[in-house]
Amino acid sequence: MHPHVIVVGAGFSGAVMAERFASVADQRVLVLEQRPHIGGNCYDYKNEHGIVVHQYGPHLFHTSKQEVWDYLSNFTTWHPYEHKVLSRVDGKLVPLPFNLNTLEQLYPSQQAAYIESLLIDQFGEGSKVPILTLKKASEPALRELGQLVYDKFFVNYTVKQWGCRPEDISPEVTARVPVVVSRDNRYFHDTYQAIPSEGYTPLFERMLGHKNIQVETSCDALRRLTLDAATGTVCLDGEVFSGKLIYTGTLDSLFSFVDGELPYRSLRFDYETLPQREFQPATTVNYPNEEAFTRITEFKHILPCNSAHTTIVREYPQQYDRANPEADVPYYPVFTDKNQDAYERYRQMTLRFNSLTVLGRLADYRYYNMDDAVQNALSTFASLHK
């Protein structure tokens, strides 16, 4: 196959680009994916007990972006699902995000009612307050609440997850889980919240099943592609490639780490299947304080199945190390100003190649949810195919 377009990576960013180029632009697309499967971090499979397991940690789809919902609905039907999380604090399982129900479970009722009225006066009913904002509230009782939530829910979890305290990472990270001034226990508040009925992998199979698309898995694209910055030339298997190159991997690896390594955070997933119907009362229970892992997820709660067994996963954050096969997956860019500057230097290098487009969680060095990745890919395609 002589492709018009090469797409590196078969996660949402790459799959959307491949599907759009194949079906809208009628181009031949070659997708190169280093893992033995498609789907990127959203990859899932049914295990021997009929339980759909997410191989790279729990993936809960939620979006308020109509375009994304409509687009993905071409490739799947949906199982309605609203994610709920409990956090284990002081030996109790309480709702997270911290909300008025959580407040009532941790405070004596009179004090809870008083703090509730302060929260509503100060921020308004239904508002979402980042923990770092609440900690600086002008009202002393609210500052105290902010400190308590920070101490019991955030600081140790964040140190485990990122290797640093909440103040030392971009505020957008902890703002993902704000204090919510309502009794809504849901983890997300988007218009659409659902899981592909048969799982994510069949959705990707349909996206990439187009006759114009060829997928090669277990293929590190950087072994087949050469980029010459002096001339802006891209070669595939030693021959000049004059089509479009869409790249969704890390930028430091694309440029052979010439400007040093970009920092990432990795995870170790510890899966366990138990001979019991249920392990815990919610899909995810967070362990901010006592354990080395951050959370336990039980998959049966996501897509129900009638098995006498249940499968859970514990997530252990760890330092990313590309030389260590146990820690060489860059799950999260580490969001600090310094790292952003280092990333921008790599981003500048991409401009030397007219045919190169980079996007996705890794190549954009951004904390994208699945719907962000899909939205960006749709708009990137629209800007390339006018």
Q: Of 285, 262, 379, which Cα lies nearest the Cα of 332? A: 262
CA 237 to chain CA mean position, Å:
32
Site for ligand UDP in 146-205 (CB under 6 A): 153-154, 157-158, 161, 173-174, 176-177
Residue 370's binding partner, choosing from ligand UDP, ligand FAD, none, with beta-carbon cut-off 5 to 8 A by kind? ligand FAD
Report the residue number, 113 or 382, with the smaller CB distance to ligand FAD: 382
Q: Please, what is the minimum distance in Å from the beta carbon of residue 304 to ligand FAD?
A: 18
Nearer to ligand FAD, 81 or 107 (CB): 81
Cα distances from 250 to residues 9, 263, 317, in angstroms, run: 10, 11, 19
- Answer whether 368's CB lies under 8 Å from 376's CB: yes
Name the residue whose CB lies closest to ligand UDP.
157
- By CB under 6 A, what part of segment 224-263 binds ligand UDP? none
The residues that touch ligand FAD, with contacts defined as CB under 6 A, are 8-14, 32-35, 40-42, 56-61, 220-222, 248-249, 267, 331, 360-362, 368-371, 373
Residue 89 makes contact with ligand UDP by CB under 6 A: no
Q: Which residues contact 231 (CB under 8 A, 6 or more apart)?
A: none
Contacted entry of ligand UDP, ligand FAD, none for residue 221, CB cut-off 5 to 8 Å set by kind: ligand FAD
Structure tokens that stand for 32 in this block: 């190169």
Q: How far apart are CA 10 and CA 377, in angstroms?
A: 12
- Characterize the bridge pairing of strands 192-196 and 62-63: antiparallel
Q: Which CB atom, from 75 or from 107, has the smaller least distance to ligand FAD?
A: 75
For residues 386 and 26, is the Cβ–Cβ distance under 8 A?
no
Site of tokens 């087949």: 224
- Give whole-number Cα distances, 130 to 82, 125, 146, 233, in Å: 22, 15, 9, 46
Count residues near ligand UDP (CB under 6 A). Answer: 13
Binder of residue 248, out of ligand UDP, ligand FAD, none (CB less than 5 to 8 A by kind): ligand FAD
Q: Which is nearer to ligand UDP, 161 or 376 (CB)?
A: 161
Where do contacts with ligand UDP occur on this chain (CB under 6 A)? 87, 96, 153-154, 157-158, 161, 173-174, 176-177, 286, 288
